[in-house]
Amino acid sequence: MTSQPSRSDLLQCLTEARRRADEGRSEVLASYSVPWTCGDPGKLFASNRLVESPATLWAIPQRRLALVGLGCAREFRAGADEPWATIQQKWRHLLEAAVIHGDHRLMLCGGFAFDRLGQRRSRWQNFPAAALTLARFGLCRHGSATRLIINILVTATSDCAALADSAIADWTRIVSRPSFAPRAAAPADLSEPDIAADIWKCKVAAATESIRTGAMDKVVLARTRTVPLTISVEDILANLSETHPDAYLFAFARQDACFLGASPERLIEFRDGCLSTWALAGSAPRSAVETEDARLGRGLLRSAKDRHEHALVVNALRSVLTHHCGRLHIPEEPGLRKLPHVQHLITPIEGQAHDGLQLLELLEQLHPSPAVGGLPRGEALAYIRAEEELDRGWYAGPVGWIDDRGNGEFAVALRSALLREGSATLFAGCGIVDGSSPEDEYRETEVKMRTMASALNGPASLSRRYG
Ligand SMILES: C=C(O[C@H]1C=CC=C(C(=O)O)[C@@H]1O)C(=O)O
């Protein structure tokens, strides 16, 4: 069922917020929602991302879950030396006096840089170290039900009628904004060149040697590949959604840049104290031939090197979670997570958090897990900063959402690319442990980049799922 936003209901919500602001609050949130018939969330995001910045998209196609955020009512940030829990405190403070009209949850959506202390390069200039956005316009689809949400901050002097009118007019413009045509091929921006294959393999060899001599147990090294962008964001999202229906689809547009991907890795799902996280590490390619694919999977399950790489992640998650959980369930043996181009070892972990534990506090302790950083964490991060020669930006950082009850879900921003100025920079990394081979690790990053490479190649490549 679709209904237009009702001017009188929105005005009533805004007026009540102004009344509360008048009682001594500097600003009060008015949050209004109405049922909506969702078109294509990817299209809505893509056609508005340059005008309604920041724009956010979060979706799990298989679960029929999609969140789109356009524009900003309030953005919460944490500086490099501020705990992420401060964001949750500020969020709770804003919610205390909020006026809510409609049957919806209020949600922040956004992401965190992989390394808040790492060097910043220009390509990530609009992506802060931590930014969770309360969108001015939100679309929340859950199964067959979708709601349009309008969030507005009101002060004691706000003109509520003008706010209501401009919100309704802006939403009308948003839904009728046409899609962008696919961009013509533009020269790729190579001002920050990607590392040459030989040099990267030397880095892997050097890291393996460091590990062999006992400086670390594991380090994840990443690299990039930059290609011209010849396809629209709408088509990229449609391709990802079709090929990776059970992945976390995410897209964050900030000014003219857009970071997007299809992540296979859950960092945390948190619902009323029940939490779930996945250890995901250890990889093998897929094969289109079933028997060969099964052989590759068995080989991965038996590989001592991959089992060790995986166990380091499981143990690191266990040591964080034991402090915070009454009940904790960790299977003894990993299983396989099969994706279109690659298969991974996976251990799904579940627990019951102690009372009072906050999602963002836990998130900060879980990140970066050795699946994207290394072990010991401090040594691995220092090694990455010194040797990787890459600003990872939001790649391999947590991306996701948190709602007004403190529930939420965050994925690790893998299998992703940053689009900017006619080019797409693809990111991929792999865990280096004792016994890693530079050739194999290089090939593994190539395979991991295929998620984005094939989505960027347009519909023609989609039939070659294992190519
Ligand atoms: C760092 C990445 O993958 C991680 C997640 C799964 C498997 C991994 C591995 O086998 O190395 C990595 O730890 C990436 O995709 O860029």
Q: What is the sign of the dihedral through the CA atoms of 255, 393, 59 and 244?
A: positive
Q: What per-residue confidence (pLDDT) applies to 188?
A: 54
Distance 372 CA to ligand 1 centre (A): 6
Share of the chain above pLDDT 70, in %: 94
Backbone phi, psi, residue 79, to 5°:
-70, 175
Residues with CB under 6 A from ligand 1: 220, 222, 265, 280-283, 344, 371-372, 396, 414-415, 428-431, 448
pLDDT in tens, 211-221: 999 999 999 99
What is the chain's length? 467
Residues in Cβ contact with 181 at an 8 Å cutoff, skipping those fewer than 6 apart: 232
Q: Establish whether domains 7-176 and 197-243+265-464 are of one fold.
A: yes
Distance 418 CA to ligand 1 centre (A): 18
Q: For 103-114, what is the mean pLDDT?
A: 97
Whether domain 7-176 has CATH 3.40.50.300: the reply is no
Q: Give the mutation target among 208, 217, 283, 309 for probing the ligand 1 site: most ligand atoms within 8 A of CB.
A: 283
Distance 431 CA to ligand 1 centre (A): 6
Active-site annotation, residues = 218, 265
Q: For 30-51, what is the mean pLDDT?
A: 93
pLDDT tier for residue 118 given thresholds of 50, 70 and 90: confident
Q: Is the pLDDT of residue 461 over 50?
A: no
Residue with the smallest CA separation from ligand 1 atom 7 is: 281
pLDDT tier for residue 191 given thresholds of 50, 70 and 90: low
Q: Is the pLDDT of residue 3 over 70?
A: no
State the closest ligand 1 atom to the C-alpha of 371, by its place in the atom list counted from 1. 13
State the closest ligand 1 atom to the C-alpha of 222, by its place in the atom list counted from 1. 16
Q: What per-residue confidence (pLDDT) applies to 184?
A: 54
Residue with the smallest CA separation from ligand 1 atom 8 is: 281
Q: What are the boundaries of each domain within the chain? A: 7-176, 197-243+265-464
Q: Is the pLDDT of residue 388 over 70?
A: yes
Share of the chain above pLDDT 90, in %: 89
Whether domain 197-243+265-464 has CATH 3.40.50.970: the reply is no
State the closest ligand 1 atom to the C-alpha of 282, by its place in the atom list counted from 1. 10
Higher-confidence residue of 120 and 325: namely: 325
Q: What per-residue confidence (pLDDT) applies to 39?
A: 82
Q: For 53-67, what is the mean pLDDT?
A: 97
Residue with the smallest CA separation from ligand 1 atom 2 is: 429
pLDDT tier for residue 206 given thresholds of 50, 70 and 90: very high
Q: Is the pLDDT of residue 464 over 50?
A: no
Q: Give the mutation target among 448, 449, 450, 452 for probing the ligand 1 site: most ligand atoms within 8 A of CB.
A: 448
3-state secondary structure the chain: CCCCCCHHHHHHHHHHHHHHHHCCCCCEEEEEEEECCCCCHHHHHHHHCCCCCCEEEEEEHHHCEEEEEECCCEEEECCCCCCCHHHHHHHHHHHHCCEEECCCCCEEEEEECCCCCCCCCHHHCCCCCEEEEECCEEEEEECCEEEEEEEEEECCCCCHHHHHHHHHHHHHHHHHCCCCCCCCCCCCCCCCCCCCHHHHHHHHHHHHHHHHCCCCCEEEEEEEEEEECCCCHHHHHHHHHHHCCCCEEEEEEECCEEEEEEECCEEEEEECCEEEEEEEEEEEECCCCHHHHHHHHHHHHHCHHHHHHHHHHHHHHHHHHCCCEEEEECCCCCEEEECCCEEEEEEEEEEEECCCCCHHHHHHHHCCCCCCCEECHHHHHHHHHHHCCCCCCCCCCEEEEEECCCCEEEEECCCEEEEECCEEEEEEEEEECCCCCHHHHHHHHHHHHHHHHHHHCCHHHHHCCCC
* pTM of full prediction above 0.90: yes
pLDDT in tens, 331-377: 999 999 999 999 999 999 999 999 999 999 999 999 999 999 999 99
* C-alpha neighbours within 13 Å on the C-beta side of residue 331: 14
Q: Between vectors from CA 265 to CA 262 and to CA 269, what angle results, nearest 5°? A: 110
pLDDT in tens, 228-263: 999 999 999 999 999 999 999 999 999 999 999 999
Distance 415 CA to ligand 1 centre (A): 9
Q: What per-residue confidence (pLDDT) applies to 181?
A: 63
pLDDT in tens, 390-444: 999 999 999 999 999 999 999 999 999 999 989 999 999 999 999 999 999 999 9
